[in-house]
Amino acid sequence: MAIGVPVVVNATGSGARHAAAEIARAWARCVIPPNDAPLARIEVVLDDDPAVLAAGSARGAVVSQTLPQLLHDFSPHITTHAIARQATSQLLMLHAGGLADESGRVVALVAASGVGKTTAVSRLARTFGYVTDETVAVQPDLSVVAYPKPLSVLDRDDGLKSQHAPDEAGLTPTPATCRLGALVCLDRRPDGPLEPEVEEMDVFEALAALAPQTSYLAARPGPLRQLAALVDATGGMVRLHYREADRLVPALRQVLAR
């Protein structure tokens, strides 16, 4: 299940069995029992033969000669596919990491790519429940659709992102029900404060931070009005200035307790 979208993954090619096993391992928390819901289908092709890969690519499959490259490409592909499927739904999809406290209140860590969302989530989801490191999907009633995908970590010498299964990374399970409780804009800097600092943002600053990190925002009716309502419903957005993610737990508890 990817952001509420049931997806069937078909592995083909000479390395199909290996690819299927590794995807099932990394994405174990997203696996659901088969059901009759409408399904999206994604094909992956792992093979040494360029002709096989070319034919798969022509079909729209994710193709590669190596498993690390395939897993690297598969993660954004399935996420983008699911977001596109939900583009006309009522979900507000924020490019954010998601963590939940014991009661299911979710803090969305909003930031552009490369700012440190996945690093923060990987450290903090040993204390908080792991919701996602990629897309926080919010229903009109503020309930959150969990997306506990593997952590995509840039930890290889070849520049590919490894896919770390949440269970293998020791991340805490997601609460059964989740509801958005806080919006946080991450501001990590090497020279940032040793003890994290929480700065209240006015609604205009919040909109400026959220708008570029909201999928298909322009296609929504009254998009800025919807974002402003989300900010208001969560008690206002804050900016979190920090140096190391390990020190963020008290600050996040403080924000969720407002």
pLDDT at 115: 81
Whole-model pTM?
Answer: 0.94
Q: Is residue 67 part of a domain?
A: yes
Q: Is residue 1 part of a domain?
A: no
Q: Which region among 1-5, 30-34, 51-55, 133-137 has the lowest average model confidence (pLDDT)?
A: 30-34
What CATH number did the domain enclosing 131 receive? 3.40.50
How far is the C-alpha of 185 from the C-alpha of 75, rounded, in Å?
24
> How big is the CA angle at 61 (ends 60 and 63), to the nearest 5 degrees?
130
Asked whether residue 107 falls in the same domain as residue 18, the answer is no
* Cβ atoms of residues 255 and 184 within 8 Å: yes
Asked whether residue 77 falls in the same domain as residue 104, the answer is no
Q: Is residue 178 part of a domain?
A: yes
Instruction: Give the 3-state secondary structure of residue 93.
Output: strand
Mean pLDDT of 196-201: 97
Asked whether residue 203 falls in the same domain as residue 229, the answer is yes
User: Where a domain ends, among 60, 85, 110?
Assistant: 85
Q: Is residue 31 part of a domain?
A: yes
Mean pLDDT of 121-131: 97
pLDDT at 34: 80
Asked whether residue 60 falls in the same domain as residue 163, the answer is no
| Residues in CB range of 92: below 8 A, 6 or more apart | 137, 138, 214, 220, 226, 227, 230
Asked whether residue 75 falls in the same domain as residue 194, the answer is no
Tokens 């994290």 found at: 196
Q: Is residue 107 part of a domain?
A: yes
Asked whether residue 220 falls in the same domain as residue 129, the answer is yes
Asked whether residue 100 falls in the same domain as residue 80, the answer is no
pLDDT at 166: 97
User: Where a domain ends, among 30, 65, 85?
Assistant: 85
Give 58-84 pLDDT, tens digit per residue.
Answer: 999 999 999 999 999 999 999 999 999
Asked whether residue 42 falls in the same domain as residue 147, the answer is no
Chain-centroid distance, C-alpha 134: 2
Structure token pair of residue 92: 């507000």
With cut-offs at 50, 70 and 90, classify the pLDDT of residue 225.
Answer: very high
pLDDT at 116: 85
Residue 52, classified by CB atoms within 10 Å of its CB into exposed (0-12), middle (13-18) or buried (19+), is middle
Give 13-32 pLDDT, tens digit per residue.
Answer: 999 999 999 999 999 999 98
Asked whether residue 41 falls in the same domain as residue 129, the answer is no
Asked whether residue 60 falls in the same domain as residue 185, the answer is no
Range of the domain at 186: 92-256
User: Where a domain ends, among 36, 63, 85?
Assistant: 85
Asked whether residue 157 falls in the same domain as residue 55, the answer is no
> How big is the CA angle at 85 (ends 100 and 159), to the nearest 5 degrees?
70
pLDDT at 258: 86
Tell me which H or E stretch contains 110: strand 105-110
**Is the pLDDT confidence value at 38 over 80?**
no
How far is the C-alpha of 74 from the C-alpha of 43, rounded, in Å?
10
Tell me which H or E stretch contains 164: strand 162-164
The DSSP symbol for 168 reads T
| Residues in CB range of 132: below 8 A, 6 or more apart | 96, 97, 98, 121, 146, 147, 148, 149
Give 242-258 pLDDT, tens digit per residue.
Answer: 999 999 999 999 999 98
- Give me the chain's average pLDDT, please: 95
Q: Where are the beta strands (DSSP E) in 51-91?
A: 62-64
Q: Is residue 166 part of a domain?
A: yes
| Torsion of Cα atoms, 31 then 121 then 231 then 105, to 10° | 60
Asked whether residue 103 falls in the same domain as residue 141, the answer is yes
Q: Is residue 106 part of a domain?
A: yes
How far is the C-alpha of 16 from the C-alpha of 22, rounded, in Å?
10
Q: Is residue 2 part of a domain?
A: no
26, amino acid identity: A
Number of structural domains (the chain) is 2
Tell me which H or E stretch contains 135: strand 135-138
What share of the chain has pLDDT > 90, as a percent? Answer: 91
